[in-house]
Amino acid sequence: MVDWGNATSVALSGIISVFAVLAVLQIAVTVSGKVIEGMAKSQAEKQKS
């Protein structure tokens, strides 16, 4: 006999975990990309000046 309540909570926690992890990673990658790009630009400007 399947415990549907338990099964639903397993699935819900999984879906939420997958989306939460990848959404947070998306934000982290976007932010880190901008920071690294900014640092590279300011370094390039310093070298020019």
Partner 1 sequence: MNQLMTEIIDGLGVMHLTPGNVAMWLIAFVLFYLAIKKGVEPLLLLPIGFGVFAANFPLTGLLEEGGLFYIFYHYGIENELIPPLIFLGLGAMTDFGPVIANPKTLLLGAAAQLGVYAAFFGALFTGLFNVKEAACIGIIGGADGPTSIFLSANLAPHMMGAVSVAAYSYMALVPIIIPPIAKALTTKQERAMPMGMMRMPSKTEKIVFPVLASIVIILLVPKSAPLIAMFMVGNLFMESAVVDRLTDVARNALMNIVTILLGLGVGSTMTADSFLNSKTIGVFIMGVVAFAFATAGGVLLAKLMNLFTKNKVNPLIGAAGVSAVPMAARVVHNMGTEANPQNYLLMHAMGPNVAGVIGTAVAAGAFITAIL
Query: Which residues bind to partner 1, rule: CB under 8 A?
Result: 2-4, 6-7, 9-11, 13-15, 17-30, 32-33, 36-37, 40
Range 3-22 burial, b when 16+ CB lie within 10 A, else e? eeeeeeeeeeeeeeeeeeee
Using DSSP, state whether 5 is helix, strand or coil. Answer: helix
Shortest distance, position 2 Cβ to partner 1, whole Å: 5
> Smaller CB distance to partner 1: residue 37 or 42?
37
Shortest distance, position 43 Cβ to partner 1, whole Å: 11
